[in-house]
Structure 1
Amino acid sequence: MNNGNQSDQSPPPGPETQEKRFSFPTAFTILFGLIIFVAALTWIIPAGEYTREMNQELGEEVPVPGTYHEVESDPQRLLISMLMAPVDGMYDTDTNEARAIDVALFVLMIGGFLGVVTRTGAIDAGMSRTMQALKGREIWMIPFMMALFALGGSTYGMAEESLAFYGLIIPVMIAAGYDAVTAVAMIMLGAGIGTLGSTVNPFATVIASNAAQIPFTQGIWLRVVILVLGWLACVFYVMRYAKRVKANPETSLVADMREENRQHFLGGKSSLEAIEFTTTRKIILVIFALTFAVMIWGVSSAGWWMGQMSALFLGAAILIGIIARLGEKNLVNTFLDGARDLLGVALIIGVARGVVVIMDKGKITDTLLYWAEQAVGDLPSVAFINVMFWIEVLLSFFVPSSSGLAVLSMPIMAPLAEFAEVSRHLVVTAFQSANGLVNLINPTFAVVMGGLAIGRVGYDRWLKFMGPLLLILVIMICAVLSLGAL
């Protein structure tokens, strides 16, 4: 858009010009800022710990109610913390979850896999056929895909696995006249609302229920209500935004990146042109789809985790490269180029996990939990469950892991329900709703920052998109919890 005479036409620097030049910090800067902030808190918040004992059902040590005591403080040095937290974050592991370095490797394998598939032209050919088949009905992909992702989130806690789908869905939605925000929302809100309304999710509902010493089936119908209402709200919200963007692309939150995104995701094409759908490309797309199907089966039924999924995508990339006759050098170079495209995503995962590492090293996590325990006191039932929800919201910002927060907070918070004459299953529902809600926007949650990085959506723009929807979800959740407490 510059015509080479910018120096002659640009206004002299002034307050307005400087204001226009301001840009929201990158995700890395935001996370480093949070690391410094949490490190500073370790100098202010007293260090403390609960006595822990082994829970045989969970196979983990859990805090014992009434045993909190202050311990010698270990304030974290700001500069050293800022530099070491991302490194430590890569090796840190939350309860029942993968290390960040395992997730980062998984992301790189996905990048290499997508790079190889894209190189064959199979994805472009498949998307072209998809657009021809839908013929203006692409909008209905939103409720359908969000329902599938919500099912994954509600049943097996789909989170890191969702990162594999961005490279597939974003180009389709952009080619259909929507934008990257629409595609990111389909995946992130779909899986996220499923986790928020978990029914049998082993990493949230089951662990939290075991820690609260109740069957995980208690309260399941209330969680189904939250799941259905939340899914409807998210689908309506995303479809409304998508229709507005398609009618007027300038209303997109990433309108200034429209051409840049088309270049990145579609190779600069204004639309998906008709591409020859050869037998080889059909075979490749079948393998492509089977890879994702096998991944979902492996995670949900065979006990797979990041290592097995990484190996799956590596093996599928090699197989596709052989079928497409890319040749050894082209296959290797294409795989490396694809992995390189997601290198920033892989690195940001360790930085995000570093915030939690600082809290644990500074011994302030249990102190925050103790303050939360004291806050609920002898509140009446409706007030109790709503305060419990907001306490879990606060804790979720610092402990984004659903299983980690369940093991940390449920042994302490669930027994308090009896004093307020509230069922323990309602505390479990408040916990998972709060954790799921926060993890739709949580900068310390690697899935959020990783997904936004893949979709090239700035964190500030995601917050702008999510603002009204968060208010809707909060009102809905608090209303359902209040009715459950009556």
Structure 2
Amino acid sequence: MVLIFMVLIGVYLLSFFVPAGEFAREVVEGRSRVIPGSFEYLPDVDLIHPFRLFVAIPEGMINAAQFLFIVFIAGGLFHVLKGTGALENAIGVAAYRMGAGRSVKSRNVILVTGTFIYGFFGMTVGSENNMALVPLGVLIASAIGCSRLVGVTMAVGGIGVGFALSPINPYTVGVAQSIGELPLFSGWELRTLMMLLCLSTLAAYICLRVVKLDFHDDQPAEMSRELQEYTLSRNDLVILYLFLAGLAVMLFGIFTRGWYIKEITGIFLLMTILIGFAGKLSPNQLVKKMMEGASSVTSSALIIGLAASIQVILKDAQILDTIIHSLSQVAINMPIAPAAVVTSVIQGLINLFIPSGSAQALITMPILIPMADLIGMSRQLMVSAFQVGDGLSNMFIPTAGSVLAMLALGRVSYAQWLPVILPVMLPLYAMCWTGLVVAHYIGY
């Protein structure tokens, strides 16, 4: 709360020094795009009253309501699922059969495999759509004798890297390539290579560093008995089937019906009710479990709303377009290879203010594509530079609602997350920046 509130104050202070301005926009295929070269400063924009800083917080919570409520419902779902014991039994049986706890090697195999599985889900399904899988990572970590932090790093980190560098990301690559008039998901080879290298680096970091951290957990996710004592009953299998079937329906809706947060939240709610009744809970017991699960993630959900208030201040001050315009001018006179790297850095900075990848593409790509043509950079390379900058920064910026939501479900605070994820970000960026430079010189 304190960290994000400090960012909010910083953005408020920016409004006194950054002049207001805006781009003209046009609607193309139902989407609003910036018109390149249309930026103008706005005269006589009133300064924001200090009291507005506090009004922006509940307004941000209202704007981020979909993220708050999916956290509450998902928290209830996993508390009910945990109460049935089916999930713990399944993970205990699987971990025992894989040799968990018998050697460091077997532990590392599970962590590496888990990181790549979560990376695959991030690559194919996206970020918000994988929230339900984060508590599974915590249980897996507990089964192999690791802390909650290890499970969250494996899950959130894997999903984050997979989504950030996905060769088939419809939210960032798809929108950016459509604006750049490129074949959909073309140039996938570079993005796939960067994603695999970064997932490998993250997995090694978890095995060598995160497992050794002294993490003070107020709510340790400990397994209730020894691994060899776990068995799966017929009722456990029914509950697990309902859980997996719910996830399958969710994925079907995402890929074929365009489902997003509201529909996913609805599926989570339906899954909670069916699993509760399969677990032989009475209606009152089911509601009580759901309330307990929701209450356990309340503080983390409120942090998401607080982060959303940053965009409220930016919108009121009308300085967002000014920031984008100023940053886009930085790379325009550079040689192509360093310009690609600098562009990715600039996109990371912009992502702090526009954490939606598709929205960021719609706003910035109409500026970046003409800039790429002007300096002789390939449009494909510009799209990849945009993706690296936008995607990887989601792992640590305080305005990334989906990541904050996943941390909430894993019961790891943002303050606990930053010291863990920041050290690995430098090698991840270094590999991607090297990839962008090499890509330019080989004619990507």
TM-score normalised by L of structure 2: 0.92
Q: CA deviation at 1:31?
A: 1.4
Match of 2:103 in 1: none
What does 1:48-447 correspond to in 2, within 5 Å? Answer: 48-56=21-29, 59-72=30-43, 73-81=45-53, 83-92=54-63, 100-136=64-100, 137-156=106-125, 158-241=126-209, 245=211, 251-254=212-215, 256-257=216-217, 260-262=218-220, 265-266=221-222, 269=224, 274-275=229-230, 277-447=232-402
1 CA distance for matches of 2:110 and 2:267? 27
1 CA distance for matches of 2:341 and 2:229? 54
Deviant stretches of 4+, over 6 Å: none
Structure 1 pair 443/207, CA: closer, same or farther in 2 (3 Å)? same
One-letter amino acid of the counterpart of residue 152, structure 1? F
Moved more, 330-339 or 133-142: 133-142
2 CA distance for matches of 1:231 and 1:426? 21
2 CA distance for matches of 1:175 and 1:30? 32
Structure 1 pair 113/467, CA: closer, same or farther in 2 (3 Å)? closer
Q: CA deviation at 1:213?
A: 3.0
Contact 1:124–1:272 (8 Å) recurs in 2 = no
2 CA distance for matches of 1:172 and 1:218? 36
Q: CA deviation at 1:386?
A: 1.9
Q: CA deviation at 1:272?
A: 5.5
2 CA distance for matches of 1:336 and 1:388? 45
Q: CA deviation at 1:381?
A: 1.2
Match of 1:21 in 2: none
Contact 2:344–2:390 (8 Å) recurs in 1 = no
Contact 2:156–2:407 (8 Å) recurs in 1 = no
One-letter amino acid of the counterpart of residue 261, structure 1? Q
Where does structure 2 lack aligned partners over 5 or more consecutive residues? Answer: 101-105
2 CA distance for matches of 1:415 and 1:240? 44
1:54 aligns to what SS in structure 2? strand
1:376 aligns to what SS in structure 2? coil
TM-score normalised by L of structure 1: 0.84
1:375 aligns to what SS in structure 2? coil
1:78 aligns to what SS in structure 2? coil
Contact 1:378–1:420 (8 Å) recurs in 2 = yes
2 CA distance for matches of 1:132 and 1:218? 42
2:423 aligns to what SS in structure 1? helix
2 CA distance for matches of 1:463 and 1:147? 21
1:266 aligns to what SS in structure 2? coil
2 CA distance for matches of 1:76 and 1:272? 58
Q: CA deviation at 1:275?
A: 4.7
2 CA distance for matches of 1:204 and 1:221? 16
Q: CA deviation at 1:75?
A: 2.9
Q: CA deviation at 1:234?
A: 1.4
Contact 1:385–1:481 (8 Å) recurs in 2 = yes
2 CA distance for matches of 1:211 and 1:419? 16
Structure 1 pair 463/191, CA: closer, same or farther in 2 (3 Å)? same
2 CA distance for matches of 1:106 and 1:461? 22
Q: Is it true that 1:36 corresponds to 2:5 in the alignment?
A: no
One-letter amino acid of the counterpart of residue 66, structure 1? G
Where does structure 1 lack aligned partners over 5 or more consecutive residues? Answer: 1-27, 93-99, 246-250
2 CA distance for matches of 1:451 and 1:379? 38
Contact 1:153–1:201 (8 Å) recurs in 2 = no
Q: CA deviation at 1:240?
A: 1.9
Contact 1:40–1:78 (8 Å) recurs in 2 = no
1:261 aligns to what SS in structure 2? coil
Contact 2:344–2:387 (8 Å) recurs in 1 = no
2 CA distance for matches of 1:300 and 1:378? 41
1:415 aligns to what SS in structure 2? helix
One-letter amino acid of the counterpart of residue 77, structure 2? F
What is the aligned-residue RMSD (CA, Å)? 2.0
2 CA distance for matches of 1:325 and 1:456? 27
Q: CA deviation at 1:270?
A: 7.1
